[in-house]
Structure 1
Amino acid sequence: MSRLKRAQADSLAGFRTEKTEPAIPSGLLKTARKSGQLNLSGRGLTQVPQEVYRLNVDTPEEAQQNVSFGTSDRWWEQADLTKLLLSSNQLTQLSDDIRLLPALTTLDLHDNQLSSLPGALGELQELQQLRLSHNKLTVLPVELCSLKNLCSITLQQNLLQSLPEDLGQLEKLTELDLSNNHLKELPSSLGRLTCLQKLILSHNQLSCLPEGLGQLKGVKLMDCSNNQLTDIPASLSQMLSLEQLYLRHNKLRLLSKLPAPALKELYVGNNHIEHLEAEQLSCLTAISLLELRDNKIKVLPEQITVLSTLTRLDLTNNDITTLPASLSLLPNLKVLLLEGNPLRGIRRDLLTKGTNELLKYLRGRIKEDPDRADEGPTAMTLPSQAAVNVHSIKTLKLLEYSEKQADQVPDAVFDSAADQSVTTVNFSKNQLTSIPARLVELQSSLSDINLGFNRLTCCSDVCKFLQLSHIDLRNNQLSDLPSEMNNLTKLRSITLIYNRFKSFPEVLYHIVSLETVLLGNNQVSAVDPHRLKQLVHLSTLDLSNNDLLNIPPELGLCSSLRCLSLEGNPFRTPRAAIMAKGTDSVLEYLRSRIPT
């Protein structure tokens, strides 16, 4: 009887197999010897098999079995391994035997469990690309700094707390990504990376930047967002090629003087800036985009006119109560964002009409020379008194045909814009039922379209404008958006208020570049917070005056949101008292309601 019990207990023994490391097909190794490339990504490896390290050292197995001299079987005619891809595995360590692959030019180890690296990596002197992101590295071996041919190293999403001082020896580096680590300081030698063009330092714990960064004459983009910076070194003005500088989510109290001659885009949102001085602004001689949203700015200086190259100014969510009339004198300003400011003396409906109307209002507050008040047509007006402003087309790259109550745009309007690289179109306040067919002639340069206050029921043609970053479709008859809009990978803001949407447009969940979605005054009954969370740049979401019966608690996990409007919906919670405290309080309340 006891034997029978034992037999029953072990009845599955023959089916059990010990867990072994996933085998690498011999055919894959054979192909790698011929091509010099081996892709082992996503194979569940916990360690690199020894035959990979010894790929070019040991005699292959087929040499023992096949004495054929056919062209395809000449195993002795093998290529050195130059590309090894080991990403998305479970690797916890890398053996010193990596030195047995000295010809490697690309080594991809991203998305593993590496907590350290062997010093033997320093012997791979041919290495040009090293991908180490999404691991658990806390330090880098100093030997890594001897890789003289290294052009790109990605280290984001690790646990790095410091960097070797010799990092500056990697003089051929063109891209360095150190984002999402635990760095509190940077080595002073960083300034010796003279070939560097892109430097990403966001999501660390940096409280200051080394003065040596000013020596990086070739850097075009630098991202220092989400750190603890309280000041910016003056040496940054020596970065002669710097075009884009991101300083969002820091602790800056002043807009530092940054006379970098090529600086076109400056992002300083979500800081503690209270004052803007004319001296600070006058340094920005080439600035095109200035983002100052989510600060504590109370006053704009009259001397803001020094920003003659400015095309976009974002002042969302500050403490500004009045606007200087001189703002209307900025010759190239096309987009002015002011939501979330306690402005006085300006009607709310005027703010919703867009930048052109607001600037027109401000110009009206400037005292005109009485001798010019009754002047007739000027050189800026067509002889026929038509509304095609040739001056705006040539100098501002703005094509405007608005407030005509027209059901189509005349050909003469498009003819006047031919070969002018128009970037902004304003066809608002007409009776258009479809997007003008000839608008596609401007698709290579057009980045901003205003089609508000028309009678559009469909906007399929807008999918052709791949350079589009802003589109205003307010006050139309739209009930859906075309799925092809997911091709608009540069789209940052979309205005859809006062339309006929009954659900959150499906395609918007797929446009990850979106920063602003205005969908108020529709009939939206639900949103998917899990998909909204994937819009990692979304900072402003207006769902006011819709049909939302409940607000999903998971919406509180959308950590990028800075302005969330939910007023005028029939839900019971959050209550009005919580809503009145602002976006942060609403999100915190929603998070507290998530079931655990």
Structure 2
Amino acid sequence: MEKHTQVKSRTKMISPVFHTQTKNEDEKHLSKEMIKTVRRTGILKLCGKHLATVPEKLFTIYDQVDENVVNLDFNRQDKEEELWWNVKPLIHLDLSSNVLTAIPSKIGIFQDLTVVNLQDNSLTILPAELMTLTKLTKLLLSHNKINTLPNDIDKLIELRVLNISHNMLQQLPGSLVDLVMLEKLDLSNNLIESLPSGIGYLVRITDLIASNNKIKTLPPDIVNLRSLMKLDLNNNNIKELPESLGELRKLQLLYAQHNDIGKIPDFTGCECLLEVYFGNNFIKEIPVDFHENLLQLKILDLRDNQIEVIPPEIAKMVHLTQLDFTNNELAEVPAALGLLPHLQSLKLEGNKLKQIRGDIIHTGTQRILQHLRERLKEEDVSLVIDITGAPSDVCVFPDRYKMKNGNILNLTMRNLSEVPENVFNEACEARVAVVDLCKNKLSTVPEGLQKLSDYLTELNLSFNHLKAVPDFMAKFTKLKFLDLSNNSLSDLPDSLSDMVSLRELVLFNNRFIKIPQCIYGMAGIEILMLNDNKLDEIDIEQLLRLTRITTLNLTNNNINFVPPQLGNMTHIKSLELKGNSFRQPRYAILEQGTESILSYLRDKIPR
């Protein structure tokens, strides 16, 4: 099976009318006004100027500054920024997006440089003098043709960010591991076969991106990267991950798609993991104790593997929002998955399932979960209680100390019809940012939530009995995620358009006939879930106002016409329209995915 995509060499596309600039033309880009700005700010940006050479004037811009001469003529009206004592040394140099093939050795004269951006050029080597810039904190070299890094790169003792992605590197110098101040390292899209031994010395790294290379094994000391929060190993030849991966206790994001991994490692200790991607590997089983180590996990991608069984205990991962088992060897799905309170996406296509019909799978996640809940049997009761943490007769509310520890107020599945005022007082003292009240019996939104308006970033009120949303929710201007799914809502107050920080709005399984007007005023919306409602039309003129939206789910509504102008919303990366009454686009087009749908609609726009 072909698991990898070859890294293609990047070639600049040159327009027939484009010509390589002469040195004189390059020099003109560094005007007198720009030189004055550089002296005043210490920042020079010459990006996207089609430069074939670095202007020679760059190296003389400070020659007219004589720091030994003090002008004592107070009647002279000098411009403040031109006085020598206000001149700033060059600290930021941006030469990105040009056609440079070399950087002059004179760059070494700018010893105060902290940022150098040489991305998107045609560089093959780096001048030795670049390594003398010991104050550099950020060096950006991506999208060039560099095939080797200098052995003395360790001289850049203050370097925090190094991006050498999209080049032609086959190996890394051993001295790289001596950049002990490094926080972000991007090595993606090269030809690297191994990471240097000793990489564990880079204890400050938070982001390590090594995707799209030819890496086969990882050095054992990679687990010493105790500050690591993001590890991207996509599209390599890795067969196994270190058994002691659990030592990466701050790890939040793990990308390991398109490799040759056959076994899920022991994640004991990775309590901060939020997203794990293992798609397109050779994994055959999920450890029974997998759930014990990843209780905070929100996204688990195991698509395109060889998994035959899903342990029922995986339903103990109550924070899961996305679960992908597409194209595996599953014959059954545990009914306990139907109890996951926050699950918004469960993908099971491409399996040989016996107990779930294909039409149910195609209908979407909510129908699958409903089907699974209907299959719960009496012998599952003990497991259900264990998974859900079913409440006793007396509900014990968390105190502010517990809430402060996790910055969350979690009251899921407590059969609550109201929340006492003192709970929100305690939550306010703990400055709680996340409130989860899903799967209760709330008929109104608790007024006590107003106390958290200065802190709240996530709010989940799904699976309640809400028929209306109060105006006071407009005060939640810091809210980024709002889930009101599985209620009885038919409209939202216009004032909610004031929720300027909102990025994700989940409204599926309600009673909306129209998309609420307030949504069109939420300019920051990126994800909008309106599936399983009663929508009968798409107001395209209003919808076009949402210029940041990337995910739009309108499945299972009553929409009988899809306006072709929807195809112009090319920023949408996921568009779901199945389960409506329109005839066009046809189901075959919908099956081909978002790009095909948008392209089809654009072709239908009247010319």
Structure with more contact order per residue of length (Cα contacts < 8 Å, sep ≥ 6) = 2
Deviations 1:8-36 (A, max 9, x none): xxxxxxxxxx967445454654565566x
What percent identity do the matched residue pairs reach? 14
Paired position in structure 2 for 1:38? 43
Taking the TM superposition and a 5 Å limit, the aligned residue runs for 1:277-292 are 277-278=286-287, 281=290, 284=293, 287-292=296-301
Are 1:510 and 2:509 matched, yes or no? no
AA of the residue aligned to 2:131: G
Work out which of the two has the higher radius of gyration on C-alpha atoms and give 1 or 2.
Answer: 1
CA RMSD of the aligned region, Å?
A: 5.1
1:269 and 1:527 map into 2 onto residues whose CA distance is 37
For residue 207 of structure 2, the aligned residue among 199, 213, 223 is 199
Paired position in structure 2 for 1:385? none
Paired position in structure 2 for 1:300? 310
1:185 and 1:147 map into 2 onto residues whose CA distance is 25
Paired position in structure 1 for 2:240? 232
Paired position in structure 2 for 1:425? 437
1:550 and 1:250 map into 2 onto residues whose CA distance is 37
Deviations 1:169-220 (A, max 9, x none): 32221111334x2445343246144233223426524453422452533232
Are 1:413 and 2:424 matched, yes or no? no
Paired position in structure 1 for 2:144? 136
- Structure 2 residues not aligned, in runs of 5+: 1-23
Count of aligned positions: 542
AA of the residue aligned to 1:284: N
Are 1:223 and 2:234 matched, yes or no? no
Return the offset for 1:163.
Answer: 4.5
Paired position in structure 2 for 1:573? 585
Which stretch of the first structure deviates more once superposed, 58-67 or 413-422? 58-67
Asked whether the equivalents of residues 38 and 90 of structure 2 are also in contact (C-alpha less than 8 Å), the reply is no
**Residue 85 of structure 1: SS of its match in structure 2?**
strand
Taking the TM superposition and a 5 Å limit, the aligned residue runs for 1:103-142 are 103-110=112-119, 116-133=125-142, 135-142=143-150
**Residue 121 of structure 1: SS of its match in structure 2?**
helix
For residue 508 of structure 2, the aligned residue among 464, 470, 495 is 495
Normalising by the residue count of structure 2, what TM-score does the alignment of the two structures yield?
0.70
Paired position in structure 2 for 1:12? none
Asked whether the equivalents of residues 477 and 500 of structure 1 are also in contact (C-alpha less than 8 Å), the reply is yes
1:426–1:260 Cα change, 3 Å = closer
Paired position in structure 2 for 1:471? 483
Taking the TM superposition and a 5 Å limit, the aligned residue runs for 1:138-537 are 138-142=146-150, 145-155=153-163, 158-166=166-174, 167-179=176-188, 181-189=189-197, 191-201=199-209, 203-212=211-220, 214-224=222-232, 226-229=234-237, 231-234=239-242, 237=245, 239-247=247-255, 249-251=257-259, 254=262, 256-265=264-273, 266-268=275-277, 270-272=279-281, 275-278=284-287, 281=290, 284=293, 287-292=296-301, 294-295=303-304, 297-304=307-314, 311-312=319-320, 314-316=322-324, 318=326, 322-324=332-334, 334-337=341-344, 339-341=346-348, 344=355, 352=366, 362=376, 365-367=379-381, 380-382=392-394, 389-390=395-396, 397-399=409-411, 413-420=420-427, 421=432, 423-426=435-438, 432=444, 435-443=445-453, 444=455, 447-451=458-462, 453-456=465-468, 461=473, 464=476, 466=478, 468-474=480-486, 475-478=488-491, 482-489=496-503, 491=504, 495=508, 498-502=511-515, 505-506=519-520, 510-512=524-526, 514=527, 518=531, 521-525=534-538
Return the offset for 1:139.
Answer: 3.1
2:568 and 2:210 map into 1 onto residues whose CA distance is 24
Return the offset for 1:451.
Answer: 4.9
1:366 and 1:227 map into 2 onto residues whose CA distance is 40
1:295 and 1:48 map into 2 onto residues whose CA distance is 48
Asked whether the equivalents of residues 258 and 283 of structure 1 are also in contact (C-alpha less than 8 Å), the reply is no
- Structure 1 residues not aligned, in runs of 5+: 1-17, 373-377, 383-388
1:418–1:310 Cα change, 3 Å = same
**Residue 52 of structure 1: SS of its match in structure 2?**
helix
Deviations 1:391-435 (A, max 9, x none): 58979943369989xxxx75x533345425563023876654xx5
Asked whether the equivalents of residues 479 and 502 of structure 1 are also in contact (C-alpha less than 8 Å), the reply is no
Asked whether the equivalents of residues 21 and 45 of structure 1 are also in contact (C-alpha less than 8 Å), the reply is no
Which stretch of the first structure deviates more once superposed, 456-465 or 90-99? 456-465
1:441–1:534 Cα change, 3 Å = closer
1:54 and 1:322 map into 2 onto residues whose CA distance is 73
Return the offset for 1:130.
Answer: 1.8
AA of the residue aligned to 2:449: L
Asked whether the equivalents of residues 457 and 477 of structure 1 are also in contact (C-alpha less than 8 Å), the reply is no
AA of the residue aligned to 1:40: K
**Residue 293 of structure 2: SS of its match in structure 1?**
coil
Deviations 1:248-295 (A, max 9, x none): 642466451133513422412643566433356167266544513645
1:568 and 1:81 map into 2 onto residues whose CA distance is 63
AA of the residue aligned to 1:495: F
AA of the residue aligned to 1:447: E
AA of the residue aligned to 1:564: E
Asked whether the equivalents of residues 125 and 148 of structure 1 are also in contact (C-alpha less than 8 Å), the reply is yes
1:77 and 1:84 map into 2 onto residues whose CA distance is 19
AA of the residue aligned to 1:566: K
Deviations 1:28-47 (A, max 9, x none): 54565566x22335583724
Are 1:53 and 2:62 matched, yes or no? no
2:422 and 2:215 map into 1 onto residues whose CA distance is 54
2:301 and 2:243 map into 1 onto residues whose CA distance is 22
1:459 and 1:555 map into 2 onto residues whose CA distance is 33
AA of the residue aligned to 2:380: I
